[in-house]
Every structure is written in structure tokens, then in C-alpha cells.
A and B are shown apart, each in its own frame.
Chain A
Amino acid sequence: MSLLKVTDLVVSYGGIEALKGIDFEVEQGQIVTLIGANGAGKSTTLRTISGLVKAADGRVYFEGRDITDYDTQKIVETGIAMVPEGRRVFPNLTVLENLRIGAYLRKDKDVIEEDIEYVYDLFPRLRERSWQLAGTLSGGEQQMLAVGRAMMTRPKLIMMDEPSLGLAPLVVKDIFRIIRTLKDTGMTVLLIEQNANAALHTCDYAYVMETGRITMRGTGEELLASEAIQEAYLGKKSQ
């Protein structure tokens, strides 16, 4: 059974259908990516799964449970964490406070301290900046913090919305290294990216979205080899 299963999902914003019935699955322990151009509906998909937007039709199953009608709080509790687009750390709180907010819904106070240590071990840069206001971190550090904050909810699935957005190429490399590290720790990752090249090289399975529909699917290698993908997203002209 797949960890996350989305069937026939339709979402509309006041008459305009942003998602026109999409189906996809995320297997336990994999990195799955949704790629596509602006306005394809990638972010809407994530926001719907995390309950920030309500679906007009279709179902979302997590570990076999129907979570479509859960509110965000309950969805976070069931084990889905989101790293929102543009990082969205809390700029006027310290790094440590940001991490504690991540553990907001948890009651196990002792384990929280251990998890903070775990995040700090994963991202030593954050430990150095523990008392710094998050708004003063560099873009890459903020992204680390956003990931760390999401991990503090002890999720089974982390959803990341455009983690490489607006970051320097070197930092982007770091981010994808982080994502692979997450996978190595047994985490499942659902990743949205415009940087199709990096995403396809990192992922186990990928879906291509165009204007509210999924138009292609396959493993990273398969899609990288596809001419249509090369032309549309990787900037290579087919001869």
C-alpha cells in the first residue's frame, strides 16, 4: 500500500479549475516529485493535501485513511509536514523558537529536546545560529530551518514546495543533498520543483503536471530520457 494516494482530485478557485482531476501515489521511503511550469497546479496540490485548500472533488488517502476532509491541524497530527514555498520561517523568532513551533502539536516534552538535537546534528549550521533571529539567516540556512521545523512534527511524509526557489546554484546543490539525506533517514518526500533537472536526478518517481492535469509519469531516469521532457523542461533541442 502506498503511503499517500490521491485520486481524481479537483480543486477550483472561484470557478477556475486549478486541478482537473489528478491521480498519483507516493510510496513509502521514496522521493517523489511533481514538476511542471508555473500555474500547472503543483502548489495547489500540496496545499490541498495539507488541508490549506479544500478539494471540490476527489479523495486523498494517507496510510489508507481518507484525510480529505481533515483540517490542517489534524493532517499535521497524522504525519504530513509541509515546507512551504519561499521557506516562510518566522523571521522574528529565533532558530530555536522556530523549531519549537514545529513541535507545537506534540505533547512529548522530553522527546522534543532529543529531536531538536537530531535536527541540529543534521544541520550543524543551525546549532551555531540557535539564538539568531531566523530572519537574519541566509537563504540556504532558512531552507534548512524550514526543513528542520517540518521534521519537528515527526512526520511520515515531508512535502516541499519549491525548496530551490531563489537560491544560488551552490546552495541548490546543498538543498538536494539535504533531500537525499532525508531519504536516507527513512523519510518519504514529496517534492515540487521547477528545477526539473535537479529534481529528476534526485527523485525515485516523477509526475509531470500541465495546467491542472498529470500528463506524464515515470521514474526519474525515464523522464530524463524522454524527448518531450528534454525539450519542454530541460532546455535541450531535439535534433
Chain B
Amino acid sequence: MTIIRKKKADAATWISIGIVALIYVAVFVAEQLLPPTHMLFTVLKKGATYALVAVSMNLLNGFTGLFSLGQAGFMLVGAYTYAILTIPVAQRPAVYQYFDGGLVQFTMPVIPALICAGLIAAIFAFLIGLPVLRLKSDYLAIATLGFAEIIRAVFQWKNIGALTNGSNLLRAFPTFEDFNIRAADGTVKLYLSTLVPFLIAGVCIGLIVLLLHSSHGRAFMAIRDDEIAAEAMGINLSRHKQMAFCTSSFFAGIGGAMLAMYTASVQAKSFTSAMTYEILLIVVIGGIGSVTGSCISSFLFVACSEWWLRFLDQKQMIGDFEVPLLRNGFRLVVFSVIIMIVVLFFRQGIMGTRELPDLFRKHPKKAKAAKGGKA
């Protein structure tokens, strides 16, 4: 019968893949043409990082219905793991100057270190998940938030400084800039520092999308919609919650490592709960339960906070007239107003639960009005 969808991708999927490919090409071309200091690249690099973390949070909060606020904690674990593993041995005495060059005396290539960052974050998640995932809704949020705060304090503890460098910066590890291909004289031949975060985030988000479309993904959504019915269908609740929690943390860990590559230094105290809220905001604005929405809104969010709204923080003169109210901090006021407008008038977020291919489809799925309204 024709109604059952076979695994073949339809036209809408191909159009979407085309759009994504175009974006990648555009990023690559823009990077070769525009000066590398352009604000656009800051936004793109940080946006790609946040997109990955936002999608990982959406996997948990939007698709599995587990309201967790531990994202910053897992990013911290990922960022530290990455930094600790990739600082060149020659640089270690300088970085760990108060801790005799530190404990770890080897250096890993970037990609294995990224995977380790994810794995260590996932292991932390597994251990925390054992007690915490028994909790529901708000209580889970409080417990995971608590974890993130504790981990931030623990990583600054002086007694494990040989590993984490205490409250001092970790630095000198490979950053996005190191992916630029340079000629022997140091001039850049090929700019890749923006494409690489896009590639890392793209692969990770692709994996998350595949997971969501598998039978496990359907099980996650079933748990979100109705735990008891899901259990009655034979879905193992605790195993799937644990799976979603660990997967989400794995990618949050990689996201943390990317953030480390973006900022070129890691310090535990920058992974505050405010960071989790930023990401939660991205997820809500993009649409809870939409991967596409999370991606779009991370770039919008980063662009607004880093670039487009910056002028609000400075004095602006129109002729001799000084625009009132514009001074340092006003940006955040405007930002809050925008968020309130979104929450009041766009409750579904930018995308609702739709994904990119849905925009090119005409499925009755979008026609939300029930026709057979009897009973």
C-alpha cells in the first residue's frame, strides 16, 4: 500500500539536504573572501557550538521529556577533558606552573580527544543518572542544576589541580584557528577555522537526528507523551531515560570541547548556570522538539547577543542628538523584552515541532485541526 512510508527519502528530504550543503559551501566561500576578523565568523563558530549543545539539550528536554538543567556541567567536563588531553607536552610546564607540569604527560590528536570529551561527560551522566533519573520534572531539573554547580566547584579544587589546574586557566591547546592551513611563512593558504566547527557540529547533529528517527527515538517520544502507556508497550523506562541522558551529555561534552576551542582557554568558573539558561532559551525559542529550530535559534541568539544588538551598548549619535537610554547593559534589557515577546506570542517557538523537510511537505500532520470531532 502507498500510505506506509518506506525508508526511501522523499523530495523534501533531498531539498533539505541540498540547503544544508549550500550553507556549508557558503560558509567555506565566505571564509576565503571576508577578513577573518569579521563578526560573522565569531557568530558562526559560537553558533555552531551552541547549536550542537542546544540540540543535545532538546534531545533530552524536548524529545524525551526529561527537564534537565545540567548542560553547563557536562560542557565543563567535556571542555576540561579536551583541554587536558590536547595541551602539547612542551607547553604543560607553563600551563600547570603551580602544579609541576601537571599529571597528564601525553598529548592526543584533536578528534580522539573530542570523542574522549564526549565519553567522559557521558560517564559522568551515567553515574549521576543512576540516582537522579528517578526524579520527575522540576525535581530532576533541580538535581541536575545542583550537579552542574557542584562540578564547577569541584573542578576548581586545588587538591586535584594536577589534573584540572585548579582555578587557573587551561590554555595552549589546539583551537579552531589551528585548522587554518598555513604556508611555510605563516600566511594562511586556506581558511578552515569556521568550516571545522560546522563539520563537527554537523556530524554530531546528524547522529542525533538518526537516533531520533530510529525505534529508540520513537521510544523517547513515547516516554515524553505518556510514561505509563510507553511502559505498557514494553518500553524499558529507566534504560531509555538513561540512554537519552547519556547521549545528550555525550554531545554536550563535545559541545563543551568546541566551546573550549572557540574561546582558546578553559576555566571552570565560566560554565555557570547562566550558560544552561542561555541554551534552554535557544531550545525554547527554536521550538521544543525541533532540531532545525534549535539550530536556527542558536545562530540567531548568538548573532543578537554578540553582534546585532551590540550597538545598544554604546552611545549613538544621530547628528547632534544623542539617542537616550543607550548605554552599557541596555542590550540585555532589549534582549529580555524580545524573549518576553517570543514567550507571549510565539509559544511554539520558531519551528514548533516541525523540521526543515516539513516545510516542503504537505502532510496532514501539519493540519492540526481534528476533523472527526465527535465524541
Residues of A in contact with B (beta carbons under 8 Å apart): 50, 52, 71-73, 75-77, 82, 84, 88-94, 96-97, 100-102, 104-105, 113, 116-117, 120, 125, 127, 129-133, 136-141, 149, 153, 167-168, 170-171
Contact = CB atoms under 8 A, between A and B. Distances in A.
List 4 A-B pairs, minimum CB-CB distance, nearest first: A76-B234, A90-B225, A88-B229, A136-B370
B363 A168 contact: no
A77 B368 CA distance: 34
Interface stretch (B175-183, B216-224, B299-307): B216-224
Given A127-B3, A132-B364, A101 B375 contact: no
A88 B228 contact: yes
Contacts, number: 112
Interface in B356-375: 363-365, 367-370, 372-375
B224 A136 contact: no
A82 B230 CA distance: 11
Given A92-B289, A117-B4, A73 B234 contact: yes
B225 A153 contact: no
Contacts of B215: 100, 104
Contacts of B228: 52, 84, 88
Contacts of A171: 374-375
A120 B2 CA distance: 12
B223 to A, nearest CB: 9
Contact of A101 (B3, B218, B364): B218
A90 B226 contact: yes
B374 A140 contact: yes
Contacts of B233: 76, 101-102, 104-105, 149, 153
Contact of A104 (B234, B365, B372): B234
28 contacts: A52-B228, A52-B231, A52-B232, A72-B231, A73-B234, A75-B234, A76-B234, A84-B232, A90-B222, A92-B225, A92-B353, A96-B4, A97-B218, A100-B215, A101-B230, A101-B233, A104-B222, A104-B234, A105-B234, A116-B4, A130-B4, A131-B364, A133-B368, A136-B369, A137-B372, A138-B374, A138-B375, A168-B374
B224 to A, nearest CB: 7
B1 interface: yes
B196 interface: no
User: Which among B230, B231, B234, B373 has the greatest number of chain A C-beta atoms within 10 A?
Assistant: B234
A152 to B, nearest CB: 9
Interface residues of B, number: 34
Interface of B: 1, 3-5, 215, 218-219, 221-222, 224-226, 228-236, 289, 353, 363-365, 367-370, 372-375
Given A82-B232, A88-B229, A131-B364, A104 B375 contact: no
A133 B363 CA distance: 11
A117 B3 CA distance: 9
A76 B229 CA distance: 12
Contacts of B3: 120, 127, 130
B234 A88 contact: no
Contacts of A129: 364, 372
